[in-house]
Amino acid sequence: MVVIVQKIGDVDRLTPKYYILKLIDFLSINLKKLNMVSKGLILGMIAGLGIILYAVTMSGNNMETDIPEFDKSTDYSQVFIYSTNSEIMVNVEVADTPQKQSQGLMSRENLKLDHGMLFIFDDESILSFWMKGTLIPLDMIFVDKTFRIINVVDNALPCNTEPCPDYSSEKPAKYVLEVNAGFVETNDIEAGDFISINLDSSK
């Protein structure tokens, strides 16, 4: 009978898997010193421990795969920005509920160059944003209900200590697009440009 197990050296100490492997190793070393009856009992114990080890390993793997990770399963919508010289596409997550809007891009450590977050509000109003709890600098693009860009904010910096500055629309706005700092300047985006929105139909 052969029980295939992981090497003890590959397993972290002070875990159930480590002690199960140690016990299997001890029983295997002393197996040849026993009579036939005892050998049968020990082999049964080793087989049982092997099953327990498999269950512990699979349980650990399941716990690891259940941890959600940003961007792995997100289906993006698109925003197209029509500047003077080009058309730019941005893949966006949509923040269209108070909970999503309150969270925004807080705690995000990075953002892909062509990605961002689109805030959609029910009605036009003067919108104010701040950078409390945000880890990366951002550009903000304020847009009215006709999809015309009202004004842009370049390089809004993270803020960890209150009071944090507000960044506001100059006129009533319905949409705000947040992208990486430098995106607006790189793509020559300015007030008066227009956008269009392609919302993911599965959302």
Name the pTM for this structure.
Answer: 0.63
Q: What is the dihedral of CA 198, 183, 94, 68, to 10 degrees?
A: 120
- Judged by average pLDDT, the poorest of 70-74, 126-130, 131-135, 161-165 is 70-74
Task: For residue 116, count other CB atoms closer than 10 A to its CB.
Answer: 23
Class for the domain spanning 77-198: mainly beta
Confidence of residue 8 (pLDDT cuts 50, 70, 90): very low
**Model pLDDT for residues 20-69, shown as the tens digit of each residue:** 655 666 656 665 565 555 656 656 666 666 666 556 555 544 433 332 33
Q: Strand, coil or helix: what is 59?
A: helix
Mean pLDDT, the chain, whole residue set: 79
Is the model's pLDDT at 194 over the cut of 80? Answer: yes
Task: Give the whole-number percent of the chain exceeding pLDDT 70.
Answer: 62
**Closest by Cα among 98, 43, 80 to 199:** 80
Q: Strand, coil or helix: what is 175?
A: strand
Domain ranges of the chain: 8-65, 77-198
**Model pLDDT for residues 29-43, shown as the tens digit of each residue:** 665 565 555 656 656
Task: Give the whole-number percent of the chain exceeding pLDDT 90.
Answer: 58
Query: What is the rounded end-to-end Cα distance, in angstroms, of the chain?
Result: 54
Task: Answer whether 79's CB lies under 8 Å from 116's CB.
Answer: yes
**Model pLDDT for residues 138-149, shown as the tens digit of each residue:** 999 999 999 999
Q: Strand, coil or helix: what is 23?
A: helix
